[in-house]
């Protein structure tokens, strides 16, 4: 008896492997994937502008990394006692204007260099609703400004296609080896309304599948369908009934690894996971010989893995095991 809808997720023709550089951008669900890839010691850069939700903001940010665009004082706004950018997450906001610009432009430069040599770009779209200032300028983050500051617009499928199509053409010219994985976030944007959220997601899905059918080296990973259609139960959501909870995100990540990461890298990933988990282990009795032997064994495993795979960044873990076994 089947208790879940079956879903066929094809393995990528050239899956992600260790040694690949992966830039991730988009909604908060992007960071579930990005944080896990970082924990597994893949070479990752995520959300250089901070979290972005709508296709226009995602496309605009990616194009700005190609130049790269240099932000100036006129690009900032002073609001709630800090300097902010309408194109960036509030993690870039600063009391000092110069510090705000330095942080933004440093991120732009890093994104430019990373994207130039990246093998993969993972784009997670959250909502087809976009926001604009009253003068028409697009906004990626509203910074909790009063609602009357903005106009809200549900992008049409044609607008989404135009924004992303133009962006993809520029990305292909900038980095001819780049492959792109699109996902649609399963997070419900319930503040827009239940009906409106479904309209928004439907437009994103239609636009993404149009682009995947048009371009080569573009792929779709069904994170949205895995939560909404396969799990499809409120027990897989947090208390807000909007965000997928830990079991749901782990389910999605398992499917992502199986379909998007090479078998060889999956095997290595399992060894890396053991070391990362051991590094985070909190012993009740850290002074016991048993715990010291536990640390010493993982120090040897970490050192051996580094010798065999020198591209793995396990320096922090090796130092931790070494310090706590008295070998440094």
Residue with tokens 């976009």: 130
Residue 282: pLDDT band (50, 70, 90) is confident
Q: CA 155, 207, 115: angle at the middle one, nearest 5?
A: 95
Q: For 325, what's the count of Cα atoms within 13 Å in the CB-facing half-sphere? A: 19
Output the DSSP codes for 89-101: -GGG-BSSHHHHH
- What's the pLDDT score for residue 327? 59
Q: Please state, rounded to an integer, the average pLDDT across all residues of the chain.
A: 92
Give, to the nearest 10 degrees, the angle between helix 263-280 and helix 315-324. Answer: 40
Residue 56 confidence class, pLDDT cut points 50, 70, 90 = very high
Domain map (residue ranges) of the chain? 21-261, 263-328
Residue 33 in tokens: 């994937």
pLDDT of residue 328: 57
Confidence of residue 80 (pLDDT cuts 50, 70, 90): confident
- Predicted structure pTM score: 0.92
Query: Two tokens at 100?
Result: 């705000």
pLDDT of residue 323: 81
pLDDT of residue 326: 62
Q: At residue 73, what are phi and psi to the nearest 5 degrees? A: -55, -35
Residue 208 has pLDDT above 80, yes or no: yes
Give SS3 for 10: coil
Task: Look at residue 77 and give its three-state secondary structure.
Answer: strand
Task: Select from 88, 87, 67, 260 the least CA-distant residue to 171.
Answer: 67
Q: How confident is the model at residue 148 (pLDDT cuts 50, 70, 90)?
A: confident
Higher pLDDT, 169 or 288: 169
* Residue 163 near residue 169 (C-beta atoms within 8 A): no
- Residue spans of beta strands (DSSP E) within 126-257: 129-133, 138-139, 150-154, 179-184, 218-220
Name the phi and psi angles at 135, rounded to 5: -85, 5
Question: What pLDDT score was predicted for residue 265?
Answer: 96
DSSP output for 189-202: -GGG-HHHHHHHHH
- pLDDT of 324 > 80? The answer is no
> 180 and 218 in contact (C-beta within 8 Å)?
yes
Report domain 21-261's class. Answer: alpha beta
Assess whether the previous peptide bond of 302 is cis (omega < 30° from 0): no
pLDDT tens digits along 210-261: 999 999 999 999 999 999 999 988 899 999 989 999 999 999 999 999 999 9
What integer is the mean pLDDT of 307-322? 90
Residue whose C-alpha is closest to residue 9's, from 201, 255, 254: 255
Task: Read off the tokens for 122.
Answer: 């993972």
For residue 280, the model assigns a pLDDT of 87
How confident is the model over 92-99, as a mean pLDDT?
95
121: part of which helix (H) or strand (E)?
strand 120-125
What sign has the CA pseudo-torsion 251, 185, 12, 67?
negative
pLDDT band at 1 (very low <50, low <70, confident <90, very high): low
For position 270, what pLDDT does the model report? Answer: 94
Chain segment 58-76, per-residue pLDDT in tens: 999 999 999 999 999 999 9
Residue 12 banded pLDDT, cuts 50, 70, 90: very high
Closest CA relative to residue 203, chosen from 159, 140, 152, 139: 159
**30 band by pLDDT with thresholds 50, 70 and 90:** confident
| 144-160 average pLDDT score | 92
Model confidence pLDDT, tens digit, residues 283-300: 787 778 888 888 899 999
């Amino acid at each position: 008896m089947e208790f879940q809808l079956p879903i066929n997720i094809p393995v990528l023709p050239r899956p992600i492997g260790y040694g690949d550089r992966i830039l991730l951008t988009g909604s908060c669900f992007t960071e579930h994937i990005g944080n896990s890839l970082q924990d597994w010691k893949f070479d990752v850069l995520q959300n250089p502008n901070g979290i972005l939700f709508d296709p226009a903001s995602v496309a605009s940010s990616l194009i700005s990394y190609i130049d790269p665009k240099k932000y100036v004082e006129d690009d900032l706004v002073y609001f709630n006692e800090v300097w902010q950018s309408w194109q960036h997450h509030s993690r870039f906001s600063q009391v000092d204007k110069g510090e705000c610009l330095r942080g933004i432009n440093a991120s732009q430069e890093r994104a430019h260099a990373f994207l130039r040599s990246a093998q993969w770009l993972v784009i997670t779209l959250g909502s087809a609703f976009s926001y604009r200032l009253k003068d028409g300028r697009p906004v990626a983050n509203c910074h909790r400004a009063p609602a009357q500051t903005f106009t809200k617009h549900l992008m049409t499928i044609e607008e989404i296609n135009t924004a992303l199509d133009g962006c993809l053409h520029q990305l292909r010219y900038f980095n001819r080896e780049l492959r792109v994985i699109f996902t649609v976030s399963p997070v419900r944007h319930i503040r827009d309304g239940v009906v409106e959220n479904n309209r928004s997601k439907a437009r994103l899905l239609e636009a993404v599948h149009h682009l995947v059918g048009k371009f080569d080296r573009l792929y779709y990973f069904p994170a949205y369908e895995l939560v909404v259609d396969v799990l499809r139960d409120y027990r897989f959501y947090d208390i807000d009934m909007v965000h997928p909870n830990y079991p749901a995100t782990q389910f999605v990540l398992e499917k992502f690894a199986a379909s998007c990461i090479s078998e060889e890298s999956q095997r290595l990933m399992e060894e890396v996971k053991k070391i990362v988990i051991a590094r985070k282990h909190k012993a009740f009795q850290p002074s016991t010989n048993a715990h010291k032997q536990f640390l010493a064994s993982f120090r040897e495993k970490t050192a051996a893995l580094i010798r065999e795979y020198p591209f793995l960044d396990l320096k922090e873990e090796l130092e931790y095991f070494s310090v706590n076994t008295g070998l440094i």
